[in-house]
């Protein structure tokens, strides 16, 4: 990185009215003007410095949002410090909750830098059950985007923790596991699909996310396959839709027949997704079979015809 020693950060901060009681709007206008005077490398250094001395959440939010465009590794340290806030809030006039949206943005910006040394900070916030749930959610999402397998064990624990107060956090952890793609997560995810009673019956959205994760992992395992088959009977239509998508990855006649059976599901959206899945497996032949058969609903026939019409339009345009 070029030498920025010629920059006097204190003078620039004073000119921009950083860390003063000036109206935030005026400060942000001053920050915008810096873009006309300095190179990107200089701006990164200036904004990194400002993160360490500014205290107003809206001004800090603007700075972090702009730093996120550069995604420079030099920003990791000040962003991490803001995320963790181990030393308390930057100013006694604010509470920690006043910085929630800012810290959510910090987690996103940290993951975009793609520096795996940030995993520990993200895990620290995720594991803190006294932390604001939005912060924990953003850290779970960030860990998924970062894709570091060091986080897998913790994410598995979060997904499996029935004492976790926020189902949204368990869902985000499941999504993160799918993004990371580590096969160690399979057992934890399948156990959730296998759960029959209790809290899982009330919060089936978690199952949706679990099926999505398994679909990304695509494990060739009999237990996983059995769990997916059972998920076709789930009362939540979206769980059934996600399961259809997962079964598409299995190249066997049984999975094809299981999907074909879903053409007669009670929910029209499930039926339509089964049509799309079968088309992706077998092509136009299955569409014509659906259209010409008296076995299938109007919704199935309409979906099949729409796909055929779309294919015809694409061919005509060529």
pLDDT in tens, 258-275: 999 999 999 999 999 999
133 plus 227 within the same structural domain: yes
Q: Which residue range(s) make up the domain with 46?
A: 1-113
Residue 121 included in any domain: no
Count how many domains the chain has: 3
Beta strand extents in the chain (DSSP E only)? none
166 plus 197 within the same structural domain: yes
Residue 179 included in any domain: yes
Q: Running along the chain, 318 residues long, what does each successive block of 10 average in pLDDT?
A: 74 96 96 96 97 96 98 97 91 92 98 95 96 96 95 94 89 92 89 65 74 82 87 90 91 92 97 96 94 96 94 64
Residue 241 included in any domain: no
pLDDT of residue 3: 55
79 plus 152 within the same structural domain: no
Residue 297 included in any domain: yes
10 plus 104 within the same structural domain: yes
Residue 239 included in any domain: no
* Last residue within a domain, chosen from 88, 113, 138: 113
Residue 118 included in any domain: no
Supply the DSSP string of 132-171, one letter for each residue: -HHHHHHHHHHHHHHT-GGGHHHHHHHHH-TT-S-HHHHH
pLDDT of residue 199: 45
78 plus 137 within the same structural domain: no
* Last residue within a domain, chosen from 113, 143, 165: 113
The model's pTM: 0.79
2's enclosing H/E stretch is none
CATH number reported for the structural domain that contains residue 140 in this entry = 1.25.10.10
For residues 141 and 132, give the distance between their C-alpha atoms in angstroms, rounded to a whole number.
15
């Amino acid at each position: 990185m070029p030498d920025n020693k010629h920059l006097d950060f204190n003078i620039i901060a004073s000119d921009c009215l950083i860390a003063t009681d000036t109206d935030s709007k005026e400060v942000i206008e001053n920050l915008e003007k810096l873009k006309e005077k300095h190179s990107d490398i200089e701006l990164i250094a200036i904004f990194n410095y400002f993160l360490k001395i500014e205290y107003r959440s809206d001004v800090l939010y603007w700075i972090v949002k702009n730093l996120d465009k550069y995604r420079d590794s030099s920003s990791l340290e000040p962003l991490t410090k803001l995320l963790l806030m181990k030393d308390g809030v930057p100013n006694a006039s604010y509470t920690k909750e006043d910085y929630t949206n800012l810290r959510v943005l910090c987690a996103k910006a940290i993951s975009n830098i793609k520096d795996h040394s940030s995993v520990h900070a993200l895990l620290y916030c995720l594991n803190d059950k006294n932390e604001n749930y939005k912060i924990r959610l953003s850290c779970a999402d960030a860990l998924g985007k970062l894709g570091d397998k060091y986080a897998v064990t913790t994410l598995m624990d979060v997904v499996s923790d029935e004492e976790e107060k926020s189902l949204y956090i368990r869902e985000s952890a499941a999504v993160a596991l799918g993004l990371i793609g580590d096969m160690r997560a399979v057992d934890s995810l399948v156990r959730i699909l296998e759960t029959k009673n209790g809290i899982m019956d009330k919060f089936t959205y978690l199952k949706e996310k679990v099926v999505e994760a398994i679909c990304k992992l695509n494990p060739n395992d009999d237990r996983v396959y059995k769990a997916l088959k059972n998920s076709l009977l789930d009362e939540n239509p979206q769980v059934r839709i996600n399961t259809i998508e997962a079964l598409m990855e299995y190249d066997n006649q049984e999975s094809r027949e299981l999907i074909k059976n879903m053409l007669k599901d009670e929910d029209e959206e499930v039926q339509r997704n089964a049509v799309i899945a079968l088309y992706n497996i077998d092509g136009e032949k299955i569409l014509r079979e659906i259209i010409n058969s008296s076995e299938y609903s109007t919704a199935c026939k309409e979906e099949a015809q729409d796909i055929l019409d779309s294919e015809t339009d694409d061919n005509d345009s060529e």
